[in-house]
């Protein structure tokens, strides 16, 4: 019985074993292609997929980034136009509060104004026009480094030597800032030659007290009240330093007399 059972069992074992073997082989054959494709997948994942992923990113990036840029460019352009219109470029002050310059007494200004060749007291507009016809007064226009503001209390005329001085100061100022971030900044001339009437309309704060005359009435003086930058990209420090350097150097050389005022710098040609 025991031998039979054992024999019977051996058969069963063989059958079960054979079946197991078949199962293992078939399993192995199933797994083999799976693992092979998995290997391929892994292989792709590392060099292949990494490359394709990068390429895809690059392609996407190259397509998307310019799109984003152009969009933002368009947006910023759209924004910059009204912004530019709205953008206010604030002038840089040019007066005794920001510039450190010694004051030349006003009587010196008056003596200098009267001693300039062909200078005369410009009593009224017709005398001013007569002076222009004679060539004793010349029209003054915007130039390199300076510009003339809209004038309400003076005329844009000066004695020829004073106009030359203004041009020289403008060039010196522009030279100071050339190549810097403040290049193109101009100083603003806010007052030139005043008739007696224009002078009196300005009120008591002007120099009528000094013998009733102002050096502005001789075509000998002009006022600088601001420096105007081309944009807000740079601050006021360089233009302010530049105008101070120019005024100081011209004053030191004895070419100008200066009165640092509350709201401007009063300049008279010295001779
Ligand atoms: Zn003045």
pLDDT in tens, 72-116: 333 333 444 545 556 799 999 999 999 999 999 999 999 999 999
Query: Do the beta carbons of residue 256 and residue 270 sit within 8 Å?
Result: yes
268, β-bridge pairs: 221, 257
Q: What is the mean pLDDT of the chain?
A: 77
148, β-bridge pairs: 189
pLDDT at 60: 35
pLDDT in tens, 135-183: 999 999 999 999 999 988 899 999 999 999 999 999 999 999 999 999 9
> How many angstroms separate the alpha carbon of residue 200 from the centre of ligand 1?
13
259, β-bridge pairs: 266
> How many angstroms separate the alpha carbon of residue 137 from the centre of ligand 1?
17
- Dihedral angle of Cα 194, 196, 202, 203, to the nearest 10 degrees: 150
Which tokens in the block code for residue 11? 């058969």
Residue 264 has pLDDT above 50, yes or no: yes
> How many angstroms separate the alpha carbon of residue 221 from the centre of ligand 1?
6
pLDDT in tens, 63-74: 333 333 333 333
Query: Do the beta carbons of residue 204 and residue 212 sit within 8 Å?
Result: no
Kindly report whether the global pTM for this prediction surpasses the value 0.75: no
Please report how many Cα atoms fall inside a 13 Å half-sphere around the Cα of residue 18, on the Cβ side. Answer: 5
pLDDT at 238: 97
Comparison of pLDDT for 42 and 7, the residue scoring more: 7
> How many angstroms separate the alpha carbon of residue 223 from the centre of ligand 1?
5
> How many angstroms separate the alpha carbon of residue 171 from the centre of ligand 1?
21
Q: What is the CATH number of domain 92-269?
A: 3.30.1380
pLDDT at 46: 33
> How many angstroms separate the alpha carbon of residue 66 from the centre of ligand 1?
56
Sequence ranges of the domains in the chain? 1-87, 92-269
- Among the listed residues 92, 91, 196, 212, the one whose alpha carbon sits nearest the alpha carbon of residue 153: 196
> How many angstroms separate the alpha carbon of residue 82 from the centre of ligand 1?
37
Cα torsion 141, 250, 220, 240: sign:
positive
Strands, DSSP E only, in the chain?
92-93, 138-139, 146-148, 157-158, 186-191, 221-228, 256-260, 265-269
């Amino acid at each position: 019985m025991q031998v039979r059972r054992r024999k019977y069992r051996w058969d069963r074992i063989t059958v079960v074993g054979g079946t197991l073997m078949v199962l293992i082989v078939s399993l192995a054959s199933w797994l083999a292609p799976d693992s092979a494709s998995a290997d391929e997948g892994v292989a792709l994942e590392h060099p292949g997929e990494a490359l394709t992923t990068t390429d895809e990113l690059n392609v996407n990036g190259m397509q998307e980034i310019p799109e984003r840029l152009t969009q933002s460019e368009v947006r910023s352009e759209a924004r910059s136009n009204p912004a530019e219109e709205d953008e206010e470029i604030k002038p840089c002050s040019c007066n005794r509060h920001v510039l450190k310059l010694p004051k030349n007494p006003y009587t010196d200004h008056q003596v200098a104004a009267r001693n300039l060749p062909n200078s005369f007291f410009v009593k009224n507009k017709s005398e001013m026009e007569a002076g222009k016809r004679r060539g004793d007064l010349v029209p003054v226009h915007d130039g390199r480094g300076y510009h003339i503001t809209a004038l309400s209390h003076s005329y844009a005329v000066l004695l020829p030597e004073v106009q030359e001085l203004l041009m020289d100061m403008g060039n010196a100022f522009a030279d100071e800032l050339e190549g810097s971030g403040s290049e193109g900044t101009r100083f603003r001339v806010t007052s030139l030659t005043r008739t007696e009437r224009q002078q009196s309309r300005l009120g008591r704060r002007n120099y009528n007290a000094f013998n009733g005359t102002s050096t502005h009435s001789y075509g000998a003086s002009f006022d600088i009240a601001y420096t105007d930058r081309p944009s807000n990209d740079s601050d006021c420090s360089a233009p302010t330093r530049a105008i101070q350097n120019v005024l100081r150097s011209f004053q030191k050389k004895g070419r100008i007399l200066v009165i640092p005022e509350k709201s401007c710098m009063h300049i008279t040609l010295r001779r």
